[in-house]
Structure 1
């Protein structure tokens, strides 16, 4: 295995367990296993927190997986299930499959950070070119809200410019904000709203929990208030309107200010 050079900021994490979560070794999906555009759901299936084949995913399984792998509380895990179950077209469905989550504009949407738009073909397999677009805006070893938000906005602009079927509703915006904040929730500093870039890149590329890099499941329980706070931070950082006017030393500027 090629050794990864870690930034100094990860040094204190190396004392943590570096083995896969107990009872949940990573295994790549087989040819008949379902996978989805969401790298975290794929990761949970690859570690068998969720069914490895991506089928028959019930509320109990989602709640258990989110709790065991990421320390989400029960109500948040149940909410995640309720958001996903709409992808199953069967009336009164009690489960969904990862394949069903590939349906365009249900939960899957244009301008993913790591997948191609449906218009261009496969919407659920990791796309290196798309991910390189995203990473261009991750300009430091520690990703902050501005870097993550910049990559989100850039991907939307690219999709809008080149995809004639580009669709991005206010509902999709809510999903997108949650997705962009997810690396912080899973691997980062909740208070500072930052996350180590090395962990995030490893996760996206491998669809694997980054235990080999020193990460372990956080001890703090994640609830809806934490998720809401982080998505609002990403939302604020995504705005292209600043809170104050830049100061420009120019007589012409003063003249224009008088006119307008």
Structure 2
């Protein structure tokens, strides 16, 4: 999602030097995400900076550091141990995920089934499979995020075509249209879906 915000100009296009203020502004302006969530996400992102979190900035490239926030069993990327590339979009992996998106609107159950299937596939195919508790939380949060951001917070569904476009293109079809999520997203909303 942060790559998408950089592609839309809400974060630096270079993906470097992202501050707390930029993070809060980007998440609020583009996605209507509450400041408390933005602060928490920024704090986690700082842990990926190899210079330490005292710098007050992170870069998108650092987010791909394996087993910090980046985790095995991604919905759209191969496990690091199997390809040494856990950053690039992987069509084969995403096809496994898409198999669970069986209607025009993705439901919470479909998102959960896709997530579980990726966990199981990763455990089967990756002898070095690892999922930290933080990775597990982020993994669940990623699914909640696309349901909220691409869809309807009240029905907890998202149009399949929007979600697929977001994963493949790192652009938001909603951002292209200049629309904004209608409801302020708070941490309690994310917890309810997860």
State the TM-score, normalized to the length of structure 2: 0.94
- Relative distance call for 1:134 and 1:85 in structure 2 (3 A) is same
Within 5 A, what are the aligned runs for 1:154-193? 154-193=117-156
**Which structure's CA Rg is the greater one?**
1
User: What are structure 1's unaligned runs of at least 5 residues?
Assistant: 1-39, 232-260
Q: 1:95 aligns to what SS in structure 2?
A: coil
Which residue among 43, 49, 56 is the counterpart of 1:88?
49
Match of 2:161 in 1: 198
- Relative distance call for 1:115 and 1:63 in structure 2 (3 A) is same
**Would the aligned equivalents of 1:199 and 1:213 in 2 still touch at CA under 8 Å?**
no
Match of 1:17 in 2: none
In structure 2, what is the Cα distance between the partners aligned to 1:218 and 1:109?
27
Match of 1:27 in 2: none
- Relative distance call for 1:95 and 1:213 in structure 2 (3 A) is closer
What is the CA-CA distance between 1:73 and the residue it aligns to?
2.1
Match of 1:116 in 2: 78
What is the CA-CA distance between 1:93 and the residue it aligns to?
2.1
Match of 2:9 in 1: 48
User: What are structure 2's unaligned runs of at least 5 residues?
Assistant: none
Match of 2:101 in 1: 138
In structure 1, what is the Cα distance between the partners aligned to 2:134 and 2:42?
17
Aligned residue pairs, count: 192
Q: Deviations over 1:27-50 (max 9, x none)?
A: xxxxxxxxxxxxx11100111101
After TM superposition, where is structure 1 displaced by more than 2 Å over at least 4 residues in a row?
Answer: 211-215
In structure 2, what is the Cα distance between the partners aligned to 1:146 and 1:153?
10
What is the CA-CA distance between 1:130 and the residue it aligns to?
0.7
What is the CA-CA distance between 1:214 and the residue it aligns to?
5.7
In structure 1, what is the Cα distance between the partners aligned to 2:134 and 2:41?
15
